[in-house]
């Protein structure tokens, strides 16, 4: 029997895609890709997936669903009949809660479909089934709404997924544990708004991109987001350093808080060090991978001149290149997944131009997605439109 699953991607779609492919491969799951776009991925598998395991593991996936039907976009009536039959068969409540989440739909099809959902409600009423259609301002219901309305246990969140003229209908099976990410992001005792903190989801994605590893090192640890997420992913050992003693004590305090909060024991070693002058012992430590968000430079207000940005880039290029020279000395190191800043000026992107130089040192840049889906630098960009600095995610293997 074949199973078809849908994965709703987070806001930086290519990064979510890269992560899910990596995690499926690492979990030895055999699958083939049916479709993907900026909103979702559809795969088929020969066996049922452990979707709760996958959801816990992934940082970049919002919902996982199972596909029940495939139609063309001129078959609205057929879709309505299908949903009607499905609900009659599967309704075990006298009062049904039904959510619809639309992905990649044209506006006209979306309006037509929304009208149809109310026709569906009417038909159900004729069968003595009361229903409530859950809506939101957006075309899709967020993970928060799906959870709050209990649409998985006591109702349905139907995903209406459009790809060209095809429409896939899926039922959401699970949603991201947004509360856990939010607790780690906002409830930890130490935050550092000056140096900048990364979203825990991105930290988890980067750890996944590095592959299956036991021991991770973050040489720019800040207040420790990557360390906490390495705890989440059950890394056997977490090594970290930062040039600031404040960052070291923040990370340690956050790690202790995490152990307490989630009743877990972590093996970690956090120390103060300039990445340009690492203690020799670190080169002989057993370290599988470096996963790190590098220094972003001086905090930006948004009114900086292009000259300032270019100077900043020059300094950072030196820092990152020197860091990679040192990373090369770590004997057991297999790979580095790093986030480097991309500066935005007049909507234009300014990158650290060091990818080739890092390769000349002896690292090889690994494609994080099939070449045809990557930008001209073969990297992935994590961004929010209003940000002054984006993050460029790159993986190098030794």
Ligand X SMILES: C[S@@+](CC[C@H](N)C(=O)[O-])C[C@H]1O[C@@H](n2cnc3c(N)ncnc32)[C@H](O)[C@@H]1O
Among 120, 198, 337, 368, binds ligand X (CB under 6 A): 198
Q: Is 195 in the site for ligand X (CB under 6 A)?
A: yes
The encoded tokens of residue 231 equal 């705890």
Considering the complex, what minimum distance in angstroms separates the CB of residue 103 from ligand X? 30
Residues in the chain: 398
Q: Is 225 in the site for ligand X (CB under 6 A)?
A: yes
In the three-class reduction of DSSP (H, G, I as helix; E, B as strand; rest coil), residue 200 is classed as helix
- What residues from 64 to 83 belong to the interface with ligand X (CB under 6 A)? none
Considering the complex, what minimum distance in angstroms separates the CB of residue 352 from ligand X? 14
Q: How many residues of this chain interact with ligand X, rule: CB under 6 A?
A: 23
Beta carbons of 55 and 3 less than 8 angstroms apart: no
- What residues from 112 to 171 belong to the interface with ligand X (CB under 6 A)? none
- 280-309 footprint of ligand X as x/- string (CB under 6 A): -------------x-xx-------------
The encoded tokens of residue 25 equal 């491969």
Among 34, 152, 196, 249, binds ligand X (CB under 6 A): 196
User: 102 or 235, CB closer to ligand X?
Assistant: 235
Considering the complex, what minimum distance in angstroms separates the CB of residue 10 from ligand X? 18
* DSSP per-residue letters across 242-299: ES-HHHHHHHHHHHHHHHHHTT----EEEEE--GGG--THHHHS---EEEEE----S-
Helix or strand run (H / E) with residue 207: helix 200-209
Q: Is 184 in the site for ligand X (CB under 6 A)?
A: no
Q: Nearest Cα to 228, choosing from 187, 192, 266, 176?
A: 266
Q: Residue 354 burial by CB count (10 A; 0-12/13-18/19+): exposed, middle or buried?
A: buried
Considering the complex, what minimum distance in angstroms separates the CB of residue 301 from ligand X? 17
Beta carbons of 60 and 205 less than 8 angstroms apart: yes
Q: Is 243 in the site for ligand X (CB under 6 A)?
A: yes
Beta carbons of 336 and 290 less than 8 angstroms apart: yes
Among 35, 274, 285, 317, binds ligand X (CB under 6 A): 274
Which of the ranges 69-77, 103-111, 135-143, 271-279 carries the binding residues for ligand X, by CB under 6 A? 271-279
User: 213 or 225, CB closer to ligand X?
Assistant: 225
Note the residues at the interface with ligand X (CB under 6 A): 192, 195-198, 219-220, 222-226, 242-244, 247, 274-276, 293, 295-296, 319
């Amino acid at each position: 029997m074949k199973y078809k699953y849908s994965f709703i991607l987070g806001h930086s779609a290519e990064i979510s895609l890269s992560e899910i492919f990596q995690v499926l491969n690492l979990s030895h799951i055999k699958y083939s890709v049916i479709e993907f776009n900026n909103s979702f991925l559809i795969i088929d598998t020969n066996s049922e997936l452990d979707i709760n395991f996958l959801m816990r593991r992934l940082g970049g996936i919002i919902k996982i669903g199972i596909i029940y039907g495939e139609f063309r976009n001129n078959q609205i009536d057929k879709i309505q009949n299908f949903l009607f039959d499905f609900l009659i068969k599967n309704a075990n409540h006298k009062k049904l809660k039904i959510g619809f989440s639309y992905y990649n739909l044209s506006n006209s099809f979306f309006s037509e479909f929304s009208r149809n959902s109310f026709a569906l409600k009417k038909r159900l009423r004729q069968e003595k089934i009361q229903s409530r259609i859950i809506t939101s301002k957006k075309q899709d219901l967020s993970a928060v709404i799906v959870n709050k309305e209990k649409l998985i246990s006591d109702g349905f969140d139907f995903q209406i997924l459009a790809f060209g003229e095809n429409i896939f209908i899926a039922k959401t099976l699970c949603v991201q544990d947004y509360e856990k990410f939010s607790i780690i992001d906002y409830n930890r005792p130490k935050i550092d708004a000056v140096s900048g903190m990364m979203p825990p989801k991105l930290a988890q994605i980067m750890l996944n991109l590095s592959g299956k590893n036991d021991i991770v090192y973050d040489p720019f640890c800040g207040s420790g987001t990557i360390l906490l997420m390495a705890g989440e992913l059950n890394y056997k050992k977490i090594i970290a350093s930062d040039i600031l003693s404040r960052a070291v004590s923040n990370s340690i305090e956050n790690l202790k808080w995490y152990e307490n909060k989630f009743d877990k024991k972590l093996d970690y070693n956090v120390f103060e060090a300039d990445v340009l002058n690492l203690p020799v012992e670190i080169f002989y430590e057993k370290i599988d991978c470096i996963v790190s968000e590098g220094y972003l430079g001086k905090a930006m207000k948004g009114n900086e001149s292009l000259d300032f940005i270019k100077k900043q880039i020059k300094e950072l290029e030196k820092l990152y290149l020197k860091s990679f020279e040192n990373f090369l000395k770590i004997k057991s190191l297999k790979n580095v997944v790093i986030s480097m800043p991309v500066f935005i000026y007049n909507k234009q992107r300014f990158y650290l131009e060091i990818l080739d130089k890092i390769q000349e040192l002896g690292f090889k840049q690994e494609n994080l997605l099939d070449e045809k889906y990557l930008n001209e630098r073969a990297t992935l960009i994590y961004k929010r439109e209003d940000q002054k600095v984006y993050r460029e995610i790159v993986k190098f293997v030794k």
